[in-house]
Amino acid sequence: VADAPRGWVVVGDAGFRPEDLQQGGVGDCWFMSALAVVAERHELMAKIVPNYLCEPSTTASGCHEIRLFLDGRWTSLLIDDYLPTTTKQRRPTSDGSGLAFGRCAGRQLWVSL
């Protein structure tokens, strides 16, 4: 998150909360509803976002580990924090971010990642 405004974190102090999810501009409600259910299970979210308790300096490079359950096993993916945006949104985002897909209320990245 080197180029992002200060104050952005992977997960806020309150942890993973379904009420923090916001739909993106491309109509991803199907994914947001599934993620809201998973967000209520802290032990499962800790497997998906394994390094969320790391100090901000460890994620300053913009590289984040996300784990997905694919073909019967956990698979780690390293992703950057260059998030897709759109200027032609079907519905405007309330925060003006222009993020194409889901995002969090506040300055959290876990949904977008």
Residues that are catalytic: 29
| Residue in 34, 4, 17, 24 with CA at minimum distance from that of residue 110 | 17
Distances (CA, A) of 66 to 28, 38, 95, 97: 19, 14, 25, 22
Tokens standing for residue 63: 């590289």
HSE-CB of 94 using CA atoms within 13 angstroms: 9
Could you give the CA distance from residue 55 to residue 108 in angstroms, rounded to a whole number? 14
Measured in degrees and rounded to the nearest 5, phi and psi for residue 65 equal -95, 130
